[in-house]
Structure 1
Amino acid sequence: MNGPIRIGISTCLLGYRVRYDGDHCLDTILRYNLGELIEWIPVCPEVECGFPVPREPMILSGPPKKPRLITRYSGKDYTEMFMEWILEKTDELAGSGLSGFIFKSRSPSCGLGDTKIYTPTGEIVRGNGLFADSFRKRFPFIPVQNSEYLYERSKMVSFFRSVIVYKKWKEFLSRGLVKGPQGLQGPLPFKMT
C-alpha cells in the first residue's frame, strides 16, 4: 500500500489527558502494538472546540434524533458552538486521507451507539455522540468502530480489514484503476462496519 494507514482516533485513547476529569483512557494495544503500523490522527472534540481540562462533564439531553450538548450541573447549552466546530473539523478531515476512525465509547461527543441521551420524558436511550454522528453522516463509507468493541479480537480484525480495503479502494480510484459509482464520488459501493 502506498503511504501510511491514517486512522482518526479519540485523543484520550492515546493516553493524552484531555478528558473532563483531567484523565485519559489509554488503550495500550492501539498505541503501542499498532502505533508503528498506523499514523494516528488524534481528535478531541471538546478540547479542540475550546473547552478546558478539567471541565464540567457534559451530557446529551433532548429528543434522541436531535439531542443538545448540556453541562451536567450548570445546564449550559453548548450545542451551537460544538456543531460549528464539527462542521469545520469534518471539512479539515475530508482532506486528511483517513481510512478509518476509532471513537471513545459512551462519550457525548464520540460515542457510537452507546452514549446516554436523556429524553424530555425522563427516559434514557442510547445513541451516538454529536461528533461521531456527524462524522458518520459526512463520511458514510469510512470504517468506524467503538473503542470498546476492539477488545473483541474478531471485531478488531474485521475493523482493520475494512480499513485496509477502504484505503486500497481509494488508492485504486486515485490512480484511475477503477471508477467509483456515479454520484458517490468514489467511495466503496457498500458500507463497511
Structure 2
Amino acid sequence: MPEPVRILVCACLLGEKVRYDGGHKRDLFLIETMGPFVDWVRVCPEVDCGLPVPREAMRLVVDPKRPRLVTNITGIDHTDRMERWAKARLDELSALDLRGYICKKDSPSCGREPAGVFTRMFIDRFPHLPLEEEGCLADPLLRKRFLRRVKA
C-alpha cells in the first residue's frame, strides 16, 4: 500500500464541532473514501486563532487589496488577529510535506471563491499546491484532476 499523502483539511469536514454554531460539516467521502490514503492535517482558522465555539457568524468583506473578516451583527473585525495567526501557522505548515488543501466552501476564513482570509494567505504562500473545495470533489473530473496534482 502506498505511503499516505499529507493534505491540509478544514477541521469541520472531519466532523469536529468547530463551526460558528457549534456544528460540523462532516464529509463522508473525505473520511471514508479518501481517509485510508491520506494523512490529514486539520485546520480551523477561526478556532485556531482563538475564537470561541459557538461564536458570532462572520462574513468576508471583499476589498481588492485586503479582504476583511467581520462579524455579522457587531461588526468586529478579526482580520488582523486571523492574519497574525495564519502567518505563524503557514510557517509551521511549510515544514511539512503538504500535497494539497481541501477547504470549506463559503467560509469567510477558509473558502475558495472568494478566497477566505486564511485561504488567500495559503495560496500566496503555496501557489503550486492543489486546492479544492470539498463539494467539488463529488465531481469525478474535478476529483481526478485534484488527485492527479496531489500525487505529482
Alignment of 1:51-66 (within 5 A): 51-66=51-66
Counterpart CA distance in 2 for 1:148 and 1:33 is: 14
Q: Does structure 1 retain, via aligned residues, the 8 Å contact 2:3–2:37?
A: no
How far is the alpha carbon of 1:62 from its aligned partner? Answer: 4.8
How far is the alpha carbon of 1:63 from its aligned partner? Answer: 1.9
2:73 is paired with a residue whose SS is: coil
Distance 1:65 1:150, change over 3 A: farther
Letter aligned with residue 129 of structure 2: I
Query: What residue is the counterpart of 1:134 in the other structure?
Result: 121
Query: What residue is the counterpart of 1:176 in the other structure?
Result: none
Distance 1:33 1:3, change over 3 A: closer
How does the TM-score come out when normalised to structure 2? 0.95
1:136-176 Cα deviation digits (max 9, x unpaired): 010001111111111101111110110000xxxxxxxxxxx
Counterpart CA distance in 2 for 1:72 and 1:37 is: 38
Query: What residue is the counterpart of 2:83 in the other structure?
Result: 83
1:35 is paired with a residue whose SS is: helix
Counterpart CA distance in 1 for 2:14 and 2:58 is: 21
Larger Rg over CA atoms = 1
Query: What residue is the counterpart of 2:73 in the other structure?
Result: 73
Counterpart CA distance in 1 for 2:119 and 2:19 is: 16
Q: Does structure 1 retain, via aligned residues, the 8 Å contact 2:103–2:131?
A: yes
Letter aligned with residue 147 of structure 2: F
Q: Segments of 4+ in structure 1 off by > 4 A? A: none
1:65 is paired with a residue whose SS is: coil
Counterpart CA distance in 2 for 1:140 and 1:134 is: 10
Counterpart CA distance in 1 for 2:28 and 2:111 is: 19
Alignment of 1:33-52 (within 5 A): 33-52=33-52
2:35 is paired with a residue whose SS is: coil
Query: What residue is the counterpart of 1:30 in the other structure?
Result: 30
Aligned residues: 152
Question: Are 2:19 and 1:13 equivalent residues in the alignment?
Answer: no
Query: What residue is the counterpart of 2:132 in the other structure?
Result: 145
How far is the alpha carbon of 1:97 from its aligned partner? Answer: 0.9
How does the TM-score come out when normalised to structure 1? 0.76
The sequence identity of aligned pairs, in percent, is 43
- C-alpha RMSD of the superposition: 1.3
Letter aligned with residue 129 of structure 1: G
Q: Which has the higher helix share?
A: 2
2:39 is paired with a residue whose SS is: strand
Query: What residue is the counterpart of 2:100 in the other structure?
Result: 100
Counterpart CA distance in 1 for 2:143 and 2:3 is: 22
Where does structure 2 lack aligned partners over 5 or more consecutive residues?
A: none
